[in-house]
Amino acid sequence: MPGEDQHTGEKGAWYVRTCPDGIKLGGDPNKPVATTTQDWVWLTTPPSAAAVLPAPAALAAQARSLLVLPKPSIASNPPEGSPQWVGVPTWEFLPRSGWAPVSAKAEVPGESVTATATPVSVAWAFGDGTSTVCAGPGTPFTAGTDPKASSPDCGHQYKISSGSAPGGVFQVSATINWRITWVGAGQAGTLNGLTTTTTIPVTVLQSQAIVTTG
């Protein structure tokens, strides 16, 4: 409340007025902050219920912070835990069950906003200095498929073994990129995306040929 009240004895009351400035990206693009400006105003009649509701963009940022996104569950062929082989195609994929939108809602009496995260791509790093981005979760390897066949959409073929890597393994990571949209209070928009990552160790072996003479 202002220092010296000039409205003593008058009908009305002081109110804190909060005006949204927008979404401030700040140093971390994955954590946008809804910024506001506040000041004091004297009103002879209370503001309407609609006037005291927060800006939809502020609720959207809050809803985004409430999203609980799953980490990738890496699958491959040869399967996780078995060694990969130099020169043999590796299929990389994520279970379809984890490839689905996730939503969260932020609400106050009279207003609510829902933020939805939708997976759009997977960035793979194979530990040998190579990487790729796949537009979807990848195609699961099915029994009966030629083991020498390459994945139709998301795979890798190692050219070196992991023998000289720390611990004798490559660190393979999968990072899901999530697109964030929101809707509510008669408005809609987008926010900065989010990512979730999983890393696993993978052993890559190289078959050695032995030349013999008769």
Domains of the chain: 68-205 (2.60.40.10)
The verdict on pTM exceeding 0.85 is no
Cα–Cα dist 119/135, whole Å: 9
In tens, the pLDDT along 32-45 reads 555 556 677 777 77
Helix (H) or strand (E) holding 189: strand 187-202
Mean pLDDT on 22-39: 54
pLDDT of residue 132: 97
- Whole-angstrom distance, CA of residue 133 vs CA of residue 95: 17
Is residue 113 within 8 Å of residue 127, measured between CB atoms? no
How far CA 161 is from CA of 3, 6, 48, 62, 131, in Å, comes to 73, 80, 69, 46, 16
Cα 63 off chain centre by: 14
What percent of the chain has pLDDT above 70? 78
Sheet of 90-93, strands arranged across = 75-77, 90-93, 155-156
